Amino acid sequence: MMVRARARAQINIALVKYWGKRDTSLNLPEAGSLSLTLDGLGTTTTVVFDDDAPRDTLTINEEAQQGSALTKATRVLDALRERAGLRSHATITSHNSVPTSAGLASSASGLAALTQAAAVAAGLNLSREALSATARLGSGSACRSLFGGFAEWSPGKHADGHDSHAHELFGPDHWDLHVLVAILARGPKSISSTEGMEHTRRTSPFHAGFIATVSQDLQEAKAAIAARDLMSLAPVAERSCLRMHADMLAADPPLCYLQPASWAIIHRVQTLRKEGVQAFFSADAGPNVKVFCTPEEVPMLHAELEAMPGVKEIIICRPGHGAEVLDPIP
Ligand code: DP6
């Protein structure tokens, strides 16, 4: 027997950051987080369950994957196989329109697309919340990419993690926030988020302080998003980002994902906002910087970023939709 399905999911950028797990095997976070799913940057994945396949395989952009990428995919597949009573192995073929492992959340869109495609191929009709909890097993941030627009990941209370999934706060049409993604480096990062996060949790004396700030940030971010108030969202998102980076920098040995060119953009955006420009920055486990802004500010910010040293490319994104099934072909 052979069944296949194809799905697409897009990356999400956290406005209130996830950095720290209470359970590493189930990717259960210590605190909540909140993100915006972006359009145009994501992953399309085909999953084929085949009784004759000797093992699970994964290719991303035509390259066969081993190690952690395959392990993450297998965790999702195992959970779905168990639910569906399925024993066959899967052949997973993924294409990223986002640079792989460059701090641009390709694992979030990848694991979200895989979960959606594999669930359909396995004949499961799961709620988006159940898909989100399953995608979380592969990569924590992937649970937010099941949803479009603004999504919040509730950490949950249960040890098995069934209540640790994302939900939609506001759909992509709620607020036409634009994001300019300034690409400073395309190669894979030297230390993955998974490793960096656990290293930080274990060794940073600032970690408990970072975690303690999250619930206040979530509350303020949600109010600012509900009111479509960029100037109120800006300080919350920037401090969540910088506190996460401060936490990483305080690890032993320290983790420093941001480059001088990243800091130059951060400073420029802060200066521009003081001058009244509706924009703020965010950055994750890599050097690339994302600049959130109103649509009116896009041309000016694009010109500003283009002139900054080290900027290789600028990708302009808008709020995007959640994971979607493309063709559940038998
Ligand atoms: C900095 O979701 O990639 O992007 O759960 O180990 O797969 P794992 O980590 P991952 O971490 C993302 C961290 C971040 C912040 C965020 O997206 O909230």
Task: Kindly tell me if the per-residue pLDDT of 280 is higher than 90.
Answer: yes
pLDDT at 329 over 70: no
Among the candidates 131, 149, 172, a domain finishes at: 172
**Is the pLDDT confidence value at 189 over 90?**
no
Domain assignment present for 123: yes
Using the predicted structure, report yes or no on whether residue 4 has a pLDDT greater than 70: yes
Atom of ligand 1 nearest to the CA of 284: 1
* Tally of structural domains, the chain: 2
On whether residue 326 sits in a domain, the answer given is no
Are both 164 and 186 inside the same structural domain?
no
Atom of ligand 1 nearest to the CA of 16: 18
Indicate whether 54 and 130 sit together in one domain: yes
Residues 6+ apart with CB under 8 A from 60: 69, 94, 95, 96, 100, 110
Residue whose CA lies nearest to ligand 1 atom number 1: 284
> Which CATH number is 97's domain given?
3.30.230.10
Ligand 1: centre distance to CA 130 (Å): 19
Q: Nearest 5°: phi and psi at 325?
A: -80, 135
User: pLDDT tens-digit profile of 124-145?
Assistant: 999 999 999 999 999 999 999 9
Tell whether 294 and 184 lie within a shared domain: yes
For residues 219-223, give the mean pLDDT. 98
Please report the pLDDT score of residue 102 as a whole number: 54
- The confidence score (pLDDT) of residue 239 equals 98
pLDDT at 186 over 80: no
CA of 277 to the centre of ligand 1 (A): 29
Task: Report the alpha-carbon angle 155-31-37, nearest 5.
Answer: 75
Closest ligand 1 atom, CA of 29? 5
Q: How far is the CA of 284 from the centre of ligand 1 (A)?
A: 8
My answer on whether 128 and 199 are in the same domain is: no
Q: Do residues 12 and 110 both lie within one domain?
A: yes
CATH number for position 264? 3.30.70.890
Q: Note whether 162 and 203 are same-domain residues.
A: no
Q: Does some domain include residue 110?
A: yes
Q: Are residues 96 and 197 in the same domain?
A: no
Mean pLDDT of 64-84: 96
Three state DSSP letters for the chain: CEEEEEEEEEEEEEEECCCCEEECCCCEECCCEEEEEEEEEEEEEEEEEECCCCCCEEEECCEECCHHHHHHHHHHHHHHHHHHCCCCEEEEEEEECCCCCCCCCHHHHHHHHHHHHHHHHCCCCCCHHHHHHHHHHHCHHHHHHHCCCEEEECCCCCCCCCCCCEEEEECCCCCCCEEEEEECCCCCCCCCHHHHHHHHHHHCCCHHHHHHHHHHHHHHHHHHHHCCCHHHHHHHHHHHHHHHHHHHHCCCCCCCCCCHHHHHHHHHHHHHHHCCCCEEEEECCCCCEEEEECHHHHHHHHHHHHCCCCCCEEEEECECCCCEECCCCC
Quick check: 328 pLDDT over 60?
Answer: no
Task: Supply the residue whose CA is at minimum distance from atom 14 of ligand 1.
Answer: 284
- pLDDT recorded at residue 327: 75
pLDDT for the residue numbered 133? 98
Gap from CA of 228 to ligand 1 centroid (Å): 25
189, 293: one domain: yes
Q: For tokens 């939900």, what's the residue?
A: 167
- Cβ(29)–Cβ(23) under 8 Å? no
The span from the CA of 47 to the CA of 230, in Å, is: 40
Q: Are 54 and 157 in a shared domain? A: yes
In this predicted structure, the answer to whether residue 103 has a pLDDT above a threshold of 80 is: no
Percentage with pLDDT > 70 across the chain: 96
Q: Name the residue of 197, 199, 281 to mutate for ligand 1: max ligand atoms within 8 A of Cβ.
A: 197
Residue 116, domain extent: 2-172
Tokens read off for 179: 């994001």
Supply the pTM of this predicted model: 0.96
Q: What is the mean pLDDT of the chain?
A: 95
Predicted pLDDT of residue 106:
81
Domain stops at, among 156, 172, 188:
172
Please compute the mean of the pLDDT values over residues 180-204 and round it to a whole number: 90
pLDDT over threshold 90, residue 180: yes
What's the confidence (pLDDT) of residue 99?
62
Q: Ligand 1 centre from 64 Cα, in Å?
A: 23
Q: If you take atom 4 of ligand 1, which residue's CA is the nearest one? A: 284
Q: Is residue 328 part of a domain?
A: no
Question: By the 8 A CB rule, do 132 and 143 touch?
Answer: yes
**Do 103 and 251 reside in the same domain of the chain?**
no
Residue 28 reports pLDDT greater than 70: yes
Mutate to test the pocket of ligand 1, among 11, 16, 18, 189 (most ligand atoms within 8 A of CB): 18
Give every CB contact of residue 106 below 8 A, 6+ residues apart in sequence.
11, 43, 96, 98, 99, 100
Q: Is 327 among the domain residues? A: no
Banded model confidence at residue 251, pLDDT cuts 50, 70, 90 = very high
The ligand 1 site (C-beta within 6 Å) comprises: 14, 17-19, 27, 33, 107, 139-141, 193-194, 197, 284-285
Query: Of 172, 200, 222, which one is at a domain's C-terminal end?
Result: 172
For ligand 1, atom 11, the nearest C-alpha belongs to: 193
**Alpha-carbon distance 225 to 221, whole Å?**
6
Query: For residue 185, what pLDDT band results from cuts at 50, 70 and 90?
Result: confident
Task: With cut-offs at 50, 70 and 90, classify the pLDDT of residue 190.
Answer: confident
**Is 322 within a domain?**
no
| Assigned domain for 163 exists | yes
Same domain assignment for residues 230 and 100: no
Residue 329 alpha carbon to ligand 1 centre in Å: 32
Tell me, what's the pLDDT at 188? Answer: 66
Residue 330 lies inside a defined structural domain of this protein = no
Same domain, 134 and 203: no
Task: Give the mean pLDDT of 1-30.
Answer: 96
Question: How many angstroms does the Cα of residue 1 sit away from the middle of ligand 1?
Answer: 36
